[in-house]
Structure 1
Amino acid sequence: MADTQNKFYTSISNTYSQIFPYNPAQLQFATRNVVDLTGQQILDIGCATGELAFQLAKSGAEVTGIDLNEDLLQQAKTGKVHPNLIFQKGDMLELQNDFQSKSFSTVICFGNTLVHLPSRELILEMLQGVYMILKPGGFFLLQILNYDYILSEPVTELPLIETENITFFRRYVFEENSPLISFQTELYLKKEGEVVKNETFLFALKSNELRELLNNAGFEDIKFFSNFKEEPFGGKHLPLVAKVAKPY
């Protein structure tokens, strides 16, 4: 499954920043919760082309961005250069091997990255790794999609993304008695007249399951929001944004 996901991100790597442009609300969310970014050690898991990591570094933080996809990482390394910023290839299941215990004051994982892991067991393993590398009192800032809403409707299509150069279709196909969703995409490159089709699988992680796994990993003070503005969670909205703390 990891190979399939890597192929998917390679296929959209050249247009990734057009499909998923930098969202200033993410930086504002981090700034509100970290308060003073100066000198803070931050890990950005699934950093992609490095847009958010670069903005955090510009704001004074010492940032490490990790991603599995080398095409996205290469864009980050060449396009987002800052003395407080390091990009490296990294697997979110290898955090305990790649970083020392209590290395970071904040760990960020946005962009529905977490649910690329195909089981509760692997998600818990990842969360335990985050817990280990966080300093006591540190924060884990997370964003996935709201699978409570997606599964209950069900939501079979995500909003169309269209720019001058691309059109990006995203569909969900559900299988009975399976927590995995087939995420099917079509990227239309207007100038080239080409269509890039792909499929990857996502774990439909509900909010109560996420809360339970975060608790099992050791986190406390778990707060869920409907967006990066920290509006209340619940109802018909696509994002699930979480702020959780590692106790002192």
Structure 2
Amino acid sequence: MNDSQNIFYTSISKYYSEIFPFNPMQLKFVTNKLDELPGKHILDIGCATGELSFQLAAGGAEVTGIDLNEDLLQQAISNKKHKGLSFQQGNMLELKQDFNPQQFDAVLCFGNTLVHLNSESHVLQMLEGAYTVLKPGGKLLLQLLNYDHICSEPVEALPVIDTENIRFIRRYNFADDSELIGFQTDLEIKAVNRIVSNETPLLALKSETLKTLLEKAGFQNIQFYANFKQEPKGGDHLPLVVSCEK
């Protein structure tokens, strides 16, 4: 995570769970892919405030959540406690250093976390690390945005998130000569009439490129979906959900 990305997540950390509330379909998707949770060891990359990690642990899994942002991580440590759950600061490019080979039954990377890596070589490094720490037959489950659709339109803004306390506006700035997209955000904090603005670069990672990188890392049975309901990929859906195995 570069400095601008860290500043962005710190700026929204107090309101993160309100902006991105727990999605029960994520829990259902992971449970479906693993058949059952009890006894499974899961690594949750980009765990943020720990909502999904906690639900997985409550379902019987042994869960390790990692995140680079200290503000988000501290919320997870303080608010999400379970005997099967631990949190630590961690970099998704350093999985081989931080964990043992064949330690996990599943590695998760949801919330568009993967595209915070700003090059395909870094994405491959992360995928190779995930492959190493997975047990044979283990699952890598990803969720990012559908950059095939976003770049082809192009989609210049994502839906506004408007709640009792905040209004969150998200826009994209495209450059013809770059794989990176400028992700511009304005967070309006209604109680104090304050706007926190930021821009961070994201990698416009398209599905065919991601498939090639997954195969290069050694993964097989690669499946793409339009959402966590596992509806078929294709068209103008914004999410892109991926399942593959070692």
Range into which the TM-score falls when normalised by the shorter chain: over 0.9
1:89 matched to 2:93? The reply is: no
Query: Which residue pairs with 1:158 in the alignment?
Result: 158
What is the CA–CA distance in structure 2 between the aligned matches of 1:239 and 1:12, rounded to whole Å? 21
Query: Which residue pairs with 1:128 in the alignment?
Result: 128
Query: Which residue pairs with 1:185 in the alignment?
Result: 185
Q: Following superposition of structure 1 onto structure 2, how do residues 107-126 of structure 1 map, counting pairs within 5 Å?
A: 107-126=107-126
Q: Give the counterpart letter for 2:152 in structure 1.
A: S
What is the CA–CA distance in structure 1 between the aligned matches of 2:238 and 2:193, rounded to whole Å? 30
Root-mean-square deviation (CA, aligned residues, Å) is 0.6
SS state at 1:32 partner: helix
What is the CA–CA distance in structure 2 between the aligned matches of 1:186 and 1:38, rounded to whole Å? 41
The structural deviation recorded for 1:238 is 0.3
SS state at 2:191 partner: coil
The structural deviation recorded for 1:4 is 1.0
SS state at 1:102 partner: coil
Q: Following superposition of structure 1 onto structure 2, how do residues 67-86 of structure 1 map, counting pairs within 5 Å?
A: 67-86=67-86
What is the CA–CA distance in structure 2 between the aligned matches of 1:119 and 1:133, rounded to whole Å? 22
Equivalent pairs counted in the alignment come to 246
What is the CA–CA distance in structure 2 between the aligned matches of 1:177 and 1:3, rounded to whole Å? 23
TM-score (norm 2): 0.99
What is the CA–CA distance in structure 2 between the aligned matches of 1:173 and 1:4, rounded to whole Å? 15
SS state at 2:18 partner: helix
The structural deviation recorded for 1:35 is 1.0
Query: Which residue pairs with 2:141 in the alignment?
Result: 141
Q: Give the counterpart letter for 2:68 in structure 1.
A: L
The structural deviation recorded for 1:192 is 1.1
Query: Which residue pairs with 2:200 in the alignment?
Result: 200
Structure 2 unmatched runs, 5+: none
CA deviation profile, 1:85-109 (whole Å, cap 9, x unmatched): 0000000000000001000000000
Query: Which residue pairs with 1:53 in the alignment?
Result: 53
CA deviation profile, 1:73-125 (whole Å, cap 9, x unmatched): 00000100000000000000000000010000000000000000000000000
The structural deviation recorded for 1:39 is 1.1
Q: Give the counterpart letter for 2:24 in structure 1.
A: P
1:6 matched to 2:1? The reply is: no
TM-score (norm 1): 0.99
Q: Give the counterpart letter for 2:153 in structure 1.
A: E
SS state at 2:195 partner: strand
CA deviation profile, 1:54-78 (whole Å, cap 9, x unmatched): 0000000000000000000000001
Identity of aligned residues (%): 61
Structure 1 unmatched runs, 5+: none
Q: Give the counterpart letter for 1:134 in structure 2.
A: L
1:33 matched to 2:33? The reply is: yes
Q: Give the counterpart letter for 1:149 in structure 2.
A: H
